[in-house]
């Protein structure tokens, strides 16, 4: 039965899904964990002192005077402090005798194409690149757009910018010329760093022609610095300079000047799932403090022994914070992989885990569901006994996907940390701690120490245990966005206007009977069925828990009887047959799992789902299909032909009651 609250207003968001599985931390991991439950008490007693301790893990040229200056909604952290982010990420490890330690094992997509960079190598490369940027006339505060494949020159370029105080704006290498142009314009970048191309799905994929098209309409761009990666033919024009000409001849010695803790570090445009991308601005001191601390705490990173791999693209915030800044600040050894998980075969990820003896793996639910669809036998062929911690980010992880990940990748040994955060928060905000938390499949569990997150109703009051509503953050945190680049008003309107004095990230959440947090997707996607607010996440998770379903996306479509009705799009598992009564079977399964209120009106079996290039399902396009409208803007889709495949399925999309 759907829980009713007789006599009360309907809840802001219904809590339907029950989950009883629990996974305690492995004893050995708990005994040696970097962070214990004491951290929660320490932060609760004095939040600012807690973040000061975290900041002391970095090397400061000048200590700050004021820990937090809070003029809501504008925060300044570690005011008066000075540090150099690149020095913290690279030089200090060399100075402290760790120059021979590997910073990055880089694995190109073509097999056998690898590079290894120690911290000394990285220091030399960043020094040369910093000298080259200065020779090209880039100085402190200037903006640099970076549009590159996943090659070592990408983090090197970012660190070179950070070193000289230039502000980088990394644009994901899959974006179109017009998307690149609008980001170059918005940030007013004077330099673009790119490559001829990169390898994707077994072949070179060009980048330079896209840059040429974009830059042709950007007169403010003075130079385009081009790395030769694939050796593809490249047209050059007056603005172009080759990396191997300009960077390679520089001295590898470069003095890192300290920058203010509140000087800008980078702008990153959000992925555009919900609307016009926003240029999220991050600064140096607070950002590096929280990315480094959370990487240390959530992944229990032991820099001497761990081999860490985050599979995200550096073009997204996950790559910024957990491939580049957090891991390097902690002196980690990381793996970077250039290509796709199915090249040259569907076991490539597990082959990489086996080859480098990865101990910590951080990936996304969309990837995990894809691996489930491909079959358990693929990971089973590889030795993954080195793994000890598994992470997830990007979307709510369905309980079935969590359990599959734990079992088939983690051999039921490794804790799974489901990390909630977003471009705007800069670093992880809500997550289990692997040595402390008894994990629940599908739950992000608790705000990290020092983070004051809550779930509130539409009046802004905390919901009791067992209740659902809106996720908010009540107090500023070190790595929070400072504003939207060039648009303080949009910053205020977007994040600080829904609830007085609280940051509103746009996500729904529930607090279960134990007080643990579950993320329920974006509030814009919530479905209003017969007066109940039902989250997409819970219905999708119920569908994915059916043995025949690999992936599911649900939307609310206008319905004359119920206001909105639930329309489901499902991809079947490789082995499942599409039978005539699959719709009835799945609808009954959801009704049984969540209650009759959540029973979908329709089930459409589809070959693919529309996803952004970061792998997130774009429900607004499915809503267009479900309501028989022409499909909206598809330019941020990874594959725009997917919508045609789905629309073809529509004639069979009749009501099944
Ligand atoms: P845009 O804001 O332009 O629509 P985006 O929100 O997709 O883009 P990101 O900042 O990369 O861009 O994504 C953050 C969002 O991803 C969060 O607000 C949340 O909806 C979702 N998310 C990330 N991690 C988790 C998680 N562990 N559990 C649930 N949701 C998550
Ligand atoms: Mg967002």
Ligand 2 centroid – CA 275 distance (Å): 9
Q: Based on the domain organization, do 535 and 409 belong to the same domain?
A: no
- In this structure, the residue with its CA closest to atom 17 of ligand 1 is 422
CA atoms within 13 A on the CB side of 415: 28
More confident residue, 573 or 517: 517
Cβ–ligand 1 contact at 420 (below 6 Å): yes
Q: Which residues contact 600 (CB under 8 A, 6 or more apart)?
A: 539, 554, 565, 566, 567, 568, 586, 587, 590
**Arithmetic mean of pLDDT, 617-623:** 91
Mean pLDDT of 500-526: 96
Q: Summarize the confidence of residues 84-108 as an average pLDDT.
A: 98
Same structural domain, 414 and 559? no
Q: 394: Cβ below 6 Å to ligand 1? A: yes
CA 306/CA 388 separation, integer angstroms: 9
Evaluate whether 258 touches 61 at the Cβ level (below 8 Å). yes
Return phi, psi of residue 596, to 5°.
-60, -25
Provide the residue range defining the domain that includes 594. Answer: 526-655
The pLDDT score that the predictor gives to residue 656 is 40
C-beta of residue 337 within 8 angstroms of C-beta of residue 107: yes
Chain center to CA of 380: 27
Q: What's the pLDDT at 577? A: 73
At 53, which CATH number? 3.40.50.12780
pLDDT for residue 657 is more than 90: no
Tell me the CA–centroid distance for residue 507 and ligand 2, in Å: 9
Could you report the per-residue pLDDT of 276-330, keeping only the tens digit for each?
789 999 999 999 999 999 999 999 999 999 999 999 999 999 999 999 999 999 9
Rounded to the nearest angstrom, the distance between the alpha carbon of 636 and the centre of ligand 2 is 14
Check pLDDT > 60 for residue 4.
Answer: no
Indicate the top mutation candidate among 273, 484, 520 to test ligand 1's pocket, ranked by most ligand atoms within 8 A of CB.
273
Using an 8 Å Cβ cutoff, are 207 and 173 in contact? yes
Phi-psi region of 450 (alpha: psi -120 to 50; beta: other; left: phi over 0): left
The answer to whether the CB of 84 is under 6 A from ligand 1 is no
CB 408 near ligand 1, within 6 Å: no
pLDDT bucket at 628, cuts 50 / 70 / 90: confident
- Indicate which ligand has the atom closest to the C-alpha of 505: 1
For residue 438, give both structure tokens: 């008894």
φ, ψ (nearest 5 deg) of residue 529: -115, 115
**Domain annotation covers residue 482:** no
Residue with tokens 């017969």: 530
Which atom from ligand 1 is nearest to the alpha carbon of 273?
A: 4
261 with 161, same domain? Answer: yes
Give Cα separations from 67 to 64, 81, 277, 288, 502 (angstroms).
7, 9, 31, 14, 20
Answer whether residue 636 shows pLDDT above 80.
no
Euclidean distance between CA atoms 613 and 604, whole angstroms: 23
Residue 3, pLDDT above cutoff 60: no
pLDDT class of 10 with cuts at 50, 70, 90:
low
- Confidence band (pLDDT; 50, 70, 90) for 652? very low
Shared-domain flag, residues 444 and 542: no
pLDDT for the residue 149: 98
404-440 pLDDT, tens digit per residue, is 999 999 999 999 999 999 999 999 999 999 999 999 9
Q: Is 437 domain-assigned?
A: yes
Tally Cβ neighbours within 10 Å of residue 458: 15
Q: Which residues are annotated as a binding site for CoA?
A: 200-203, 318, 530
> Domain check: are 444 and 569 in the same one?
no
Q: Are 367 and 342 in contact (CB under 8 A)?
A: no
Mapped onto helix, strand or coil, the DSSP state of residue 559 is strand
Distance CA 536, CA 617 (A): 11
> Does residue 473 fall inside a structural domain?
no
Ligand 1 atom closest to Cα of residue 392: 27
* Domain final residue, candidates 451, 472, 507: 451
Rounded Cα distance between 239 and 143, Å, is: 16
Q: Is 274 in the pocket of ligand 1 (CB under 6 A)?
A: yes
Asked, for residue 267, whether it belongs to a domain, the answer is yes
- Please name the residue whose Cα sits nearest to atom 28 of ligand 1: 396
With a 6 Å cutoff on the Cβ, whether 277 touches ligand 1 is yes
pLDDT band at 646 (very low <50, low <70, confident <90, very high): confident
Q: pTM to 2 decimals? A: 0.95
Looking at 517-610, list the stretches that DSSP marks H as alpha helix, in order from N- to C-terminal side.
Answer: 536-544, 582-594
In CATH, what number is assigned to the domain containing residue 534?
3.30.300.30
Q: Do 533 and 434 share a domain, yes or no?
A: no
**Residues 258, 84: contact at Cβ < 8 Å?**
yes
169 and 266 Cβ atoms separated by less than 8 Å:
yes
Percent of the chain with pLDDT over 70: 96
* Phi, psi (degrees; rounded to nearest 5) at 185: -65, -45
Q: What is the pLDDT of residue 273?
A: 60
Would you say the CB of residue 124 lies under 6 angstroms from ligand 1?
no
Residue 2: which pLDDT band, with cuts at 50, 70 and 90?
Answer: very low
Residue 633: CB atoms within 10 A of its CB come to 11
Q: Which of 451, 472, 499 is the last residue of a domain?
A: 451
Q: pLDDT, tens digit, for every residue of 449-470?
A: 999 999 999 999 999 999 999 9
Look at residues 387, 420, 451 and tell me which one is the last residue of a structural domain. Answer: 451
- The DSSP call for residue 11 is P
Q: Quick one: 280 and 151 in the same domain?
A: yes
Q: Which pLDDT score, from 0 to 100, does residue 599 have? A: 97
How confident is the model over 572-577, as a mean pLDDT? 78
Average pLDDT score over residue span 119-129: 98
In sequence order, the 6+-apart residues with CB closer than 8 A to the CB of 157 are: 129, 144, 146, 148, 168, 193
User: Which residue puts its alpha carbon closest to atom 2 of ligand 1?
Assistant: 270
Taking the centre of ligand 1 as the mean of its atom positions, its distance from the CA of residue 282, in whole angstroms, is 17
In a domain, 257, yes or no: yes
Residue 458 lies in a domain: no
Give me the pLDDT at residue 73, please.
98
Q: Could you tell me if residue 356 is inside a domain?
A: yes
Categorize the per-residue pLDDT at 199 as very low, low, confident or very high, splitting at 50, 70 and 90. very high
Query: How, if at all, do strands 507-511 and 517-522 pair?
Result: antiparallel
Stretch 258-269: mean pLDDT: 98
Quick check: CB of 313 below 6 Å from ligand 1?
no
Q: Which ligand is nearest to the CA of 316?
A: 1
The annotation places the binding site at: 200-203, 318, 394-396, 418-423, 507, 522, 530, 544, 546, 549
DSSP 507: E
Q: Are 471 and 507 in contact (CB under 8 A)?
A: yes
Asked if 418 and 538 sit in the same domain, the reply is no
**Secondary structure of residue 510 in the 3-state scheme:** strand
Instruction: Please tell me the distance between residue 232's alpha carbon and the centre of ligand 2 in angstroms.
Output: 35
Across all residues in the chain, what is the average pLDDT? 94
* Residue 17 is assigned to a structural domain of this protein: no
C-alpha 495 to ligand 1 mean position (Å):
14
CA angle 646, 369, 580 (to 5 degrees): 45
Which of 507, 535, 613 maximizes ligand 1 atoms within 8 Å of its Cβ, making it the mutation to test the pocket? 507
In this structure, the answer to whether residues 437 and 550 fall within a common structural domain is: no
Sign of torsion, CA 317 156 137 83? positive
- Which tokens belong to 546? 């059916």
Q: Can you give the pLDDT at residue 95?
A: 98
* Burial 596-614, CB ≥16 within 10 A → b, else e: ebbbbbbbbbbeebbbbbb
Neighbours of 474 (CB within 10 A): 15
Give CA separation, 140 vs 91, 260, 263, 436, 450, in Å: 20, 11, 9, 42, 32
Atom of ligand 1 nearest to the CA of 612: 7
State whether 406 and 538 are in the same domain. Answer: no
Domain count within the chain? 2
Determine the Cα–Cα distance for residues 394 and 6; give it in Å rounded to an integer. Answer: 36
pLDDT of amino acid 364: 97
Share of the chain above pLDDT 90, in %: 88
Res 274: pLDDT: 59
* Bridge partners, residue 68, by sequence: 77
CA 84 to ligand 1 center in whole angstroms: 29
Sheet holding 307-310, edge to edge: 114-118, 102-107, 333-337, 307-310, 360-363, 389-392, 416-418
């Amino acid at each position: 039965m759907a829980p009713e609250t007789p006599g009360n207003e309907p809840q802001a968001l219904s809590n339907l899904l029950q989950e009883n599985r629990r996974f305690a931390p492995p004893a050995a991991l708990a005994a040696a964990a970097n962070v214990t439950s004491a951290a929660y008490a320490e932060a609760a007693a004095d939040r600012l002192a807690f973040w000061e301790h975290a900041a002391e893990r970095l090397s400061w040229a000048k200590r700050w005077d004021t820990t937090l200056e809070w003029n809501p909604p504008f925060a300044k952290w570690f005011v008066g402090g000075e540090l150099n982010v690149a020095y913290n990420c690279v030089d200090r490890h060399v100075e402290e005798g760790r120059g021979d330690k590997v910073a990055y094992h880089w694995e190109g997509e073509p097999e056998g194409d690898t590079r290894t960079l120690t911290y000394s190598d990285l220091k030399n490369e960043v020094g040369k690149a910093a000298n080259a940027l200065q020779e090209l006339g880039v100085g402190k505060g200037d903006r640099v757009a970076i549009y590159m494949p996943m090659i070592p020159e990408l983090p090197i370029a970012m660190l070179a910018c950070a070193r000289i105080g230039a502000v980088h704006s990394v644009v994901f290498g899959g974006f179109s010329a017009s998307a690149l142009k609008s980001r170059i314009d918005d940030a007013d970048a004077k330099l673009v760093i790119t490559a001829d191309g990169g390898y994707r799905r077994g072949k070179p994929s060009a980048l330079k022609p896209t840059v040429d098209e974009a830059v042709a309409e950007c007169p403010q761009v003075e130079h385009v610095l081009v790395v030769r990666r694939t050796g593809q033919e490249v047209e050059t024009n007056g603005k172009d300079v080759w990396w191997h000409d300009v960077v390679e001849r520089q001295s590898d010695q470069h003095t890192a000047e300290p920058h203010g803790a509140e000087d800008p570090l980078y702008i990153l445009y959000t992925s555009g799932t919900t609307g016009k991308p926003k240029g999220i601005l991050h600064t140096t001191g607070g950002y590096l403090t929280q990315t480094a601390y959370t990487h240390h705490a959530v992944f229990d990173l032991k820099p001497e022994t761990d081999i860490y791999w985050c599979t995200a693209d550096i073009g997204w915030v996950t790559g910024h914070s957990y491939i580049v800044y957090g891991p390097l600040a902690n002196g980690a050894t990381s793996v970077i992989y250039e290509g796709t998980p199915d090249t040259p075969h569907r076991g490539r990820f597990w082959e990489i885990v086996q080859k480098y003896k990865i101990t910590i793996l951080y990936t996304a639910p969309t990837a995990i569901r894809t691996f489930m669809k491909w079959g358990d036998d693929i990971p089973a062929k590889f030795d993954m006994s080195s793994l000890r911690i598994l992470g997830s980010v990007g979307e709510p992880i369905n309980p079935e996907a969590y359990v599959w990940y734990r079992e088939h990748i983690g051999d039921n040994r490794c804790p799974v940390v489901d990390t909630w955060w977003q471009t705007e928060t800069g670093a992880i905000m809500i997550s289990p701690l692997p040595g402390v938390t008894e994990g629940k499949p599908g739950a992000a569990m608790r705000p990290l120490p020092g983070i004051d997150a809550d779930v509130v109703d539409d009046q802004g009051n905390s919901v009791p245990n067992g209740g659902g509503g809106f996720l908010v953050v009540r107090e500023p945190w070190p790595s929070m966005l400072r504003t939207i680049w060039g648009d303080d008003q949009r910053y205020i309107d977007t994040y600080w206007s829904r609830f007085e004095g609280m940051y509103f990230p746009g996500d729904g959440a529930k607090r279960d009977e134990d007080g643990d947090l579950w993320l329920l997707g974006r509030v814009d996607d919530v479905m209003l069925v017969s007066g109940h607010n039902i989250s997409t996440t819970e219905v999708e998770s119920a569908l994915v828990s059916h043995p025949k379903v690999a992936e599911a996306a649900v939307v609310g479509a206008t319905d004359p009887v119920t206001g909105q009705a639930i329309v489901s799009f499902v991809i079947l598992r490789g082995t499942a047959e599409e039978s005539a009564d699959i719709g009835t079977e799945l609808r009954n399964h959801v009704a049984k799992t969540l209650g009759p209120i959540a029973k979908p009106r329709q089930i459409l079996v589809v070959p693919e789902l529309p996803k952004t290039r970061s792998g997130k399902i774009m429900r607004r396009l499915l809503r267009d299909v479900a309501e028989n409208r022409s499909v909206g803007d598809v330019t941020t889709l990874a594959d725009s032909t997917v919508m045609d495949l789905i629309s073809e399925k529509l004639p069979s999309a009749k009501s099944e009651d």
